[in-house]
Amino acid sequence: MVIRVAICDDVPVIAKAIEDLLLEYDSSLFEIDIFYSPFRLMELLEGNTYDLFILDIEFPNLSGIEVAETIRKNNFTCPIIFITSFKEYMEKVFKVNTFDYILKPVTKDKLYPALNRAIKYLDLDNSKFLFTFNKVFYSLSFSEIIYFEKNKRSVLIHTPSDIYETILQTRALLSKVNDNFVQVHTSFIVNVRCVKQITNNIIIANLNDKETVEIPISRKFLDSARKQILMKLRDFI
C-alpha cells in the first residue's frame, strides 16, 4: 500500500526537507508530489486524490486554511498536517478538521509521531473482512465498513455505497472484526473511525464526505461503548 502525499510550501528548501524526512521514514511507503503554489495544488484537486496533505499556512496571497477548506469540500476525512511558524493559527486550523499542527522547524521528533498516527488512521494494514452470501465470496477492507447491523440471523454490512449481507452470529462477528469496531447495541457494531458524535441514545457516523447516518446506542452498552470509542479516538487525534 502506498500513501499519496501532497506537500505544499512556497519555500523550496522547506518542502524538500519535508520530502527527505518522509523518504527517510520509509521510502517505499510514500508517493510524494510537491507544490510551491497553493493555487496549483487547488487546480489539481478535482483530478487528483491524495491520502495525506502537509500544508504550510503562510502564503503570500492565500492562507493554507483556505486550501484546507477547498480540500474539505471533496474529502472530509483525509489527514491534513499544517506547518507554521506561529501558534496563533491553532484555533483556526482545527476548524477545518486538522489532523495535526507542527511548528517550524520541521524535525523528525515533530513529524514522525504525526506520521505514525496518520498511518494508523488511514488503516493501512490491508486487513479484510471476509464473508460469503448465497455461495458468493466477498472481501471488504475494514476501512470501507461503517457499521454492522444484526437482523435476526443475518448481518447487514453498511459501506458508503452498498449494503452487503451474510449469516453470522454476533459472537463470531466480533471475533472477526479488528480493534476499530465497538458494539454499541445488541444489533449494531460501529467503526470508531466513522464516529462523528455520541449522544445518550444515538451515534452519528459519517456515511461519506457529505452524509451522516444515525446508529442507536442502547443503555446496556452506553458507558462501555462511550469509553471504548473515546479511548480509540485518542489514537487518531
**Do 183 and 104 reside in the same domain of the chain?**
no
**Do 115 and 146 reside in the same domain of the chain?**
no
Q: Is the pLDDT of residue 235 over 70?
A: no
47 to 41, 42, 74: CA distances (angstroms): 11, 10, 11
- Identify the bridge partners of residue 128 per DSSP, sorted by sequence position: 141
**Do 31 and 100 reside in the same domain of the chain?**
yes
**Do 104 and 147 reside in the same domain of the chain?**
no
Query: Of 74, 97, 121, which closes a domain?
Result: 121
User: Pick from 80, 70, 68, 111: which is nearest to 5 by CA?
Assistant: 80
Share of the chain above pLDDT 70, in %: 89
**Do 113 and 134 reside in the same domain of the chain?**
no
CATH number, position 210:
2.40.50.1020
**Do 145 and 199 reside in the same domain of the chain?**
yes
Model confidence over 93-116: pLDDT tens digits? 555 666 788 888 999 999 999 998
**Do 179 and 102 reside in the same domain of the chain?**
no
Query: Of 121, 139, 166, which closes a domain?
Result: 121
Pairing mode of beta strands 163-167, 154-158: antiparallel
**Do 27 and 60 reside in the same domain of the chain?**
yes
Q: Is the pLDDT of residue 74 over 70?
A: yes
User: Mean pLDDT over residues 1-27, rounded?
Assistant: 94
pTM of this structure: 0.60
**Do 114 and 217 reside in the same domain of the chain?**
no
Quick check: 81 and 103 in contact, CB under 8 A?
A: no
Per-residue pLDDT, 123: 65
User: Mean pLDDT over residues 160-167, rounded?
Assistant: 92
Q: What's the number of domains the chain is made of?
A: 2
Beta strands (DSSP E) in 37-146 are: 52-56, 80-84, 100-103, 128-133, 136-141
**Do 185 and 110 reside in the same domain of the chain?**
no
Length of the chain measured in residues: 237
**Do 99 and 170 reside in the same domain of the chain?**
no
Structural domain including 215 reads 128-233
Query: Of 121, 144, 178, which closes a domain?
Result: 121
Residues 6 or more apart whose CB falls under 8 angstroms from that of 183 comprise: 170, 174, 189, 221, 225
User: Does 71 or 8 have the greater pLDDT score?
Assistant: 8
**Do 11 and 115 reside in the same domain of the chain?**
yes
CATH number, position 79:
3.40.50.2300
